[in-house]
Structure 1
Amino acid sequence: MKSSSRVVKPPVLPILLALMISSCYLQATVQDACIANNGLFEIGNLLQMDPA
């Protein structure tokens, strides 16, 4: 009976770890998207300058 009562408790640590990892990945993808967006703006500005 002791083991069954132990199984009911949810594994909090792995869940927290997974949440932390996923949030870190999400933050990294958002940062990459911002960097890529800035890069596109820079390319657009360079193309508009059109050094004749």
Structure 2
Amino acid sequence: MHAEVGDTVVVHGRTVGTTDRRGTVVEARGSDGPYLVKFDDGHESLVFPGPDVSVEARA
């Protein structure tokens, strides 16, 4: 999985009733991650891509 600064990362909920989390890539620390992501709630976290993560390219 490849993401660039400005792309949107969606972390899909892994259990029933859990909502997806969306955020913007602010730093790519490698070609395939990890990515520093600022989520919609203001929280920043390193995201290591896995099967529950998808990337939406910026327009």
Common fold by TM > 0.5: no
Kindly indicate which of the two structures has a greater share of residues assigned to strand. Answer: 2
Q: Which structure ranks higher in relative contact order (CA pairs < 8 Å, sequence separation ≥ 6)?
A: 2
TM-score category of the 2 structures, normalised to the smaller one: under 0.3
Kindly indicate which of the two structures has a greater share of residues assigned to helix. Answer: 1
